[in-house]
Structure 1
Amino acid sequence: MLCGGVNPEMPADKNIQEICDKMKSYVENHAGKKYSVFKAKTYRTQPVAGTNYFVKVHVGGEEYVHLQIFEPLTCNGGEITLSKVELTKTQLFNLYG
């Protein structure tokens, strides 16, 4: 793991899904609609002064959204925050780069 570098894409696990579940209402507010499906599929991480998560989330049909989520270091306190949302993606779109 290289500090500041983005790690390879990995299949989403339970921890990533839990993080995405916390962000769902913010994403729905940003999109202006509700999602009946909100399943994290893949993710990448970037270690910084905490961790950036870049997550590809399936939201139904052929549609995906890409999320950038920041989790600060425990010693810095603070909450996990949604940094960026890219709407209307497909499964084939690259995940943030």
Structure 2
Amino acid sequence: MLCGGTTETKEATEEIQALVDKVHADLEAKDGNSFPHFKAVAYKSQIVNGTNYFVNIQVDDDKFFHAGIHQALPHAGSTVSFHSHQPDKSRDAIEYF
């Protein structure tokens, strides 16, 4: 990993799913749709002033989103925020966005 770059793609963990669950409503509001199925399948991370996560989220049998999520440093309250998304993805590679 380059300094400031993202990690290799990894399979999602329970911790990543917990982050995704925290931004579920925000992503629905941004997209204007409801997603009862919302499962993190893979992710990349980037250390910045906290950590950026780029997560591939399955929202239907064959529909995926890529979501950008930021988790602040612990001294900043460890807040989790949704900052961007790429709709209409498949289970393709996650790129920085």
For normalisation by structure 2, the TM-score amounts to 0.91
Per the TM alignment, residue 61 of structure 1 is displaced from its structure 2 partner at its CA by 2.0
Residue pair 1:3, 1:48 contacting (<8 A) in 2 also: no
Map of 1:12 onto structure 2: 12
Q: Tell me how far apart the structure 2 counterparts of residues 56 and 23 of structure 1 sit (CA, whole Å).
A: 13
1-side partners of 2:39 and 2:78: how far apart?
Answer: 25
After the TM superposition, which parts of structure 1 deviate over 3 Å for at least 4 consecutive aligned residues? none
Partner of 1:91: 91
Q: Which runs of 5+ in 1 are unaligned?
A: none
Equivalent positions of 1:16-27 (< 5 A) are 16-27=16-27
> Counterparts of 1:76 and 1:33 in 2: how far apart (Å)?
31
Report the AA paired with residue 50 of structure 1: G
Specify the alignment match of 2:39 in structure 1: 39
Tell me how far apart the structure 2 counterparts of residues 76 and 54 of structure 1 sit (CA, whole Å).
Answer: 21
Q: CA deviation at 1:30?
A: 1.0
Q: Percent identity?
A: 31
Normalization by structure 1: what TM-score?
0.91
What is the CA deviation profile of residues 27-66 of structure 1, one whole-angstrom value per residue up to 9, with x for unaligned ones?
1111111112100000000011110000000000211000
Deviation at 1:71, TM superposition (A): 0.7
Other structure's SS at 2:66 match:
strand
Paired residue total: 96
How far 1:3 sits from its partner (Å)? Answer: 4.2
Distance 2:10 2:87 in 1: 21
Alpha-carbon RMSD across the aligned residues, in angstroms, is 1.4
